Structure 1
Amino acid sequence: MKNFVITMALMGAASSVMADPAGVRTAEIEMPHHNSQAGISIWYPNGGGGDLAVVAENPVFHGVEAAVDAEVHVGTHPIVMFSHGMGGTTRAQAWLASGLAERGAIVVSVNHPNSTWGDFDMSKGVNHWTRVADMSIALDVLLADPAFVDHVDTSRIMAAGFSYGGWTALSMGGLTGNHAGIIETCRERLDEMEACAMLMSEGVNMPGIDPDVWNESYADARITHVTAIDPGFVWGLTAANVAGLSPNVHMIGFGGPLDRMRATNFDESGLTDLLPNARFTRFDPSFHFTAMPLCKPAAEEILEEENDDPVCTDPDGTDRAAVHTAIIDIIAEELGL
């Protein structure tokens, strides 16, 4: 049964969190399909030890406290494989990874080659199947790591992601692409749909991608749950594209009628109607970048100087911290935490 939940950003839910900050480890792993390495971050329940540090801090965004290289807490824990957005990094949703780890999950995020801040080539990054391959390899690495192998609950493995990463999560969970559908959408809405001009440009040439490769299933059979936060590529899909999707799906959307990003609007695109058994949460007021970290007082001024605002300019009435807390609660509840 479809469950529509209209969530106001000012509401907050009480949650049971661990007293200690989450543990975190980082590594570089081989990605043969890119012929390169990629950085991964693993957040996990703190079992003691480690060096306390503030992670993902910069002049614009607040970081989060973590215990670097701490031991893993006893017992087994569900896994969240988290994919960042276009031009994002593993640091961009550290607030989510640390919050979930404090609730009892192991969270793995990957710096996707070709679509990460500082490593951005959208002519390659648009090849969405490579991102799922990144996540599947990272899951392989986690499950083979002696530090974690006895602490994972393989009956609860969630694919989650934000924006382009939201599509990655859906794809990893069994959703397939519709090349003709997204191309037609971009041609019809080129001037109003975010990112379509770039995707249709000569440099990226999305129309030139082999439709059979775009439309193939890239599902990872180990995925049991999916949470997609304001996901991209949600237009032009049909019932056939959702047929193989995990039955445990939660869709999270940002914004109301005046500030919802069209490219990620799963309601307007028709995807909502194709998912009668999924759960939905929409935050209003908020906007797409409410999923970014908490901003420092000087953030808006710094970003305006770099022509990168409005990443920190939420709609009036938005409580970004409350939205973050609610998303952590949603995912934790999906995993039984």
Structure 2
Amino acid sequence: MLRRCLIAIALTAASWAHADTGRHADDAYRVGQTVRTFKPDAPREWRGAQTNALVTRIWYPADSTTPVVAHDIGPPGHPIFRGHPAADNAAVATNRARYPLLLLSHGTAGSADELDWLAAALASRGYIVAGVNHPGNNALEPLTREGFVLWWERATDLSEALDGMLADPTFGKRIDPERIGAVGFSLGGYTILELAGARTDLQAFESYCRGPAADSTCHPPAAKNEPVRAEPLSAGAVASLKRSGASYRDPRVKAVFALAPALGKALDEQSLARIAIPIRLVAGTADTTAPPPANILHIAQFLPHARVSMIEGARHETFLDTCVATAVSTHAALCKEAPGVDRDAAHTLAIDAAVDFFQSSLIDRKGTTAPLAARSSESP
């Protein structure tokens, strides 16, 4: 079945250098960024998180004359990642009335900001990107057991953040509701596949993890920091477990792009085969956190029309932001690449793949167009 997948990217030293020289050559916009805190009215499972809200980082197109400022990402005074130059709370670019929206889902114990490299690049090409920090499983607050266990609830985070974006006084009227997609990394890749129609099969995953082929997705590295509690799960968590196999398909989402998707063995195979929207999958050949055979390549076997690309030598962490120089030694596990692997060049390949994919699956699809607009001056 793997013959149906196109393994499209295999890098040599020469192609690394070639890819890096073209980075951001097609940028049409400066990047604006802001934050929204969405608080859904309906009761929901917050997974024991301190913040009962969906804290959402938003990247968006700003006019080409907007002043931008370089910034780093990480604890104050101790940055880890290099951010894309951006303008806080700038006005949305005025040359189009509406822009496509991409929902962004981070990996286990990560944050939306760790995918700034991709979100900002997409914003510079005319997309609004909304990155949710998933409750109980993000780097901005203490991690919770429920945040690690109730994976399927992450899809509800994205759907409710989408509700918030469409209702937002500034962004709602600037979003083309016919052109909504999703991007996810690692556990975020699993999350957006659920939005596309995949369902979770906990029994199959538990059986896989008890067997000799079990991989690191059965015991993710971040679980070392997971709070250990003796008391039973809350009533809400027990109720959530009972609906783990439910469908979290959001029909508003028209295409998904998954980077190094994890929990491949937790996804019901028949539900994957029934996905009807465009899917693009990208991962690294040196990924030991979500090893390709049981994750991206396993998933792809059941997606008859998905295109798969493998970046030679890229690790799981290659798809995090590029690190500042001082962090390469202090955070080697996150930052240090193998000899001959250039993270910026890998990012360029992934960005190009995402731009091409969403151009064909969202921008060129039949439906409403985004007409030119009269100038406006609203700010987020």
Q: 1:241 aligns with which of 256, 266, 271?
A: 271
Percent identity between the two aligned chains: 27
Q: 1:231 aligns with which of 236, 239, 261?
A: 261
SS at match of 2:323: coil
SS at match of 2:39: strand
SS at match of 2:194: helix
TM norm structure 2: 0.78
Please give the residue correspondences for 1:137-216 in structure 2 after superposition, counting only pairs within 5 Å: 137-189=160-212, 192-196=215-219, 198=223, 212-216=242-246
What residue in structure 2 maps to residue 220 of structure 1? Answer: 250
Q: CA deviation at 1:84?
A: 0.5
Q: 1:7 aligns with which of 10, 14, 24?
A: 10
Amino acid at match of 1:3: L
What residue in structure 2 maps to residue 123 of structure 1? Answer: 146
Amino acid at match of 2:249: A
Render the CA deviation track for 1:271-313: whole Å, top value 9, x for unaligned: 221112101111111100001111122213212xxxxx41112
Coordinate RMSD, CA, aligned: 3.0
Amino acid at match of 1:299: A
Distance 2:144 2:33 in 1: 28
Distance 1:17 1:268 in 2: 29
Which stretch shows the higher mean deviation, 90-99 or 59-68? Answer: 59-68
Equivalent pair of 1:49/1:70 in contact (CA under 8 Å): no
Specify whether residues 53 and 4 from structure 1 end up closer, same or farther in structure 2 by C-alpha distance, changes over 3 A only.
same
What residue in structure 2 maps to residue 61 of structure 1? Answer: 81
Specify whether residues 56 and 41 from structure 1 end up closer, same or farther in structure 2 by C-alpha distance, changes over 3 A only.
farther
Compare the two structures and name the one with the higher helix fraction. 2
What residue in structure 2 maps to residue 52 of structure 1? Answer: 68
TM norm structure 1: 0.87
Distance 2:210 2:291 in 1: 13
Q: CA deviation at 1:69?
A: 1.1
Distance 2:297 2:271 in 1: 14
Distance 2:285 2:179 in 1: 30
SS at match of 1:155: strand
Please give the residue correspondences for 1:106-117 in structure 2 after superposition, counting only pairs within 5 Å: 106-117=128-139
Larger Rg: 2
Matched, 1:317 2:340: yes
SS at match of 1:120: coil
Render the CA deviation track for 1:245-289: whole Å, top value 9, x for unaligned: 243000111124xx5434554568632211121011111111000
Equivalent pair of 2:60/2:124 in contact (CA under 8 Å): yes
Distance 1:212 1:240 in 2: 19
Compare the two structures and name the one with the higher strand fraction. 1
Amino acid at match of 2:358: L
Q: 1:101 aligns with which of 103, 123, 137?
A: 123
Distance 1:50 1:16 in 2: 18
Amino acid at match of 1:193: S
